[in-house]
Amino acid sequence: MKPDHDTIRQIPLFSELSTDELRKFTQISQLKKFSKKELIFSEGAPYLGFYILLKGAVRIFKLTPDGRDITIQIVEPFNLVGEIPLFDGKTYDSSCEAIEDSTLLFIPKERFLQLFVKNPKISLKILQGFAKRLKELTQQIEKLTSKDVPQRLATYLIEEYEKQCHGKEGNEIILNISRSMLASYLGTVIETLSRALRKLQDDGLIEVKGKKIVILNLEKLKNLALSK
């Protein structure tokens, strides 16, 4: 069963399309399911198309020359996966694996580009969607490069709090990824991440309970994330 068009319209790439225009894309798409830790595509593999994550979570990562992997992005439902090489890439520029059982909608490159070329109005709207997506990525890079590790961690915890606790009672969030993966995502190592967690806990901002994080002082946590 494919997602409804209102759901797909939440994605920046498709946000400007009408229901009839969206239907053209859902007609060429395929539902695919991946188990936890299953590879979805690998860096350097021939580029076949991109995905929309419908359920679960995946991570985008790259391998360093010495064999370590660096997490670039943790992707949650109703976001694109693997769209960057769509127009000029012959291979995937990164790797992607499911970090929990996941369902994705696959849109093949060739059929997508055929629709793109044959429908100028759709093409313009898709480009507007790409501009929104690039703006989001730029903002994400700025957040990770302009702050120290405790600030990056505070920003991440606030984002997770807003996702997990929005409209609900309680101030407890669950870390759905391992600490090593979170450290990689924040651009640091696990030892530095552990020190940052201890600092936030010692300052009375959070309480760490294994994979559970209790937000004790949301206002101060926000102030830390926004400080320069």
Question: Is there a shared CATH topology between the 5-144 domain and the 147-226 domain?
Answer: no
pLDDT of residue 117: 84
Helix 109-118 / helix 19-27 crossing angle, nearest 10 deg:
150
How far is residue 94's CA from residue 61's CA, in Å, rounded to a whole number? Answer: 6
At residue 145, the pLDDT reads 67
The whole-number pLDDT of residue 222 equals 92
Supply the pLDDT for residue 14. 78
d(CA 85, CA 33): 22
pLDDT score recorded for residue 1:
56
Given this model, what pLDDT does residue 35 score? 97
Cβ neighbour number for residue 6 with a 10 Å cutoff: 9
The pair of structure tokens assigned to 63 is 């391998």
- Phi/psi at 212 (nearest 5 deg)? -95, 135
Q: What is the CATH number of domain 5-144?
A: 2.60.120.10
Map out the domains of the chain as residue ranges. Answer: 5-144, 147-226
Q: What are phi and psi of 74, to 5 degrees?
A: -100, 120
Q: pLDDT truncated to tens, each residue of the chain (228 aa)?
A: 566 777 777 777 777 788 888 888 888 989 999 999 999 999 999 999 999 998 999 999 988 888 788 888 888 888 889 988 888 779 999 999 999 999 999 999 999 888 888 888 778 877 777 777 777 777 766 766 668 899 999 999 998 998 888 767 778 999 888 888 898 888 888 999 999 999 999 999 999 998 899 999 999 999 998 876
For 147-226, the fitting CATH number among 3.40.50.1010, 1.10.10.10, 1.10.357.10, 1.10.1040.10 is: 1.10.10.10
Q: Supply 135's token pair.
A: 């703006």
